Structure 1
Amino acid sequence: MSMAVGPYGQSQPSCFNHVKMGFVMGCALGMAAGVLSGTFSCLRIGMWGLKLMGRIWKTMMQSGGTFGTFMAFGMGVHC
C-alpha cells in the first residue's frame, strides 16, 4: 500500500490519526464548554465546596466525551 506524500516529502497522517486528533480536539473544546456551563449552572442554584467541584467535574467529562465522540465521527467521515 502506498503512503500519501506531502509537498515537502513528509508522509501524511493516517485516517486513524485524524480520528484520534478529532477526538482530542473535540474533548478539549467540550471540556472547556463544560467548565463554563457547569460553573454557571451550579453557582446559580447555590452549590459551594466539594459538591460544586464534583458537579463541575461531571459536567466537564460528559460534555468533553460527547463532543469528542462527535468530532471523531466527523473526522472519520471526512477521511
Structure 2
Amino acid sequence: MGLGVNEIPVAMGPYGQSQPSRFGHRKMGFFMGCAAGMATRALSRTFSCLRFRMRDQELMGGIGKTMMQSGGTFGTFMAIGMGIGC
C-alpha cells in the first residue's frame, strides 16, 4: 500500500520519539556554537589578559565581553550550518 494524499511520513527516532523540527535543529546549532565559542574565547582571552597583568574587574570585564561576542558570532554560523544541513 502506498501513501495517500494526506499521509505524510514522520521520522521516528530509535525509541519512538519524533525528530526535532527545522527550527529545533537551528536552535540546537546556535546553542552548541554559542557554548563552543564562549569556551574557546574564555581560554584564549584569560591567558591574554593575564599576560598583560590585568586584575579583578578589568579581567572579568574583558573576558566576559569577548566571550559573549564570540559565542554569539559562532552560534550564528552554527545555526546557519545546521539550517543548511537539514
Structure 2 unaligned blocks of 5 or more: 1-6
CA root-mean-square deviation:
1.5
2:24 counterpart (3, 8, 17): 17
**What is the number of equivalent residue pairs in this alignment?**
79
TM-score (norm 2): 0.83
Identity %: 70
Greater helix proportion = 1
Cα distance between partner residues in 1 of 2:84 and 2:28 = 13
TM-score (norm 1): 0.89
- The structure with the larger Rg is 2
Structure 1 unaligned blocks of 5 or more: none
Which residue type is aligned with residue 26 of structure 1? G
Which residue type is aligned with residue 26 of structure 2? V
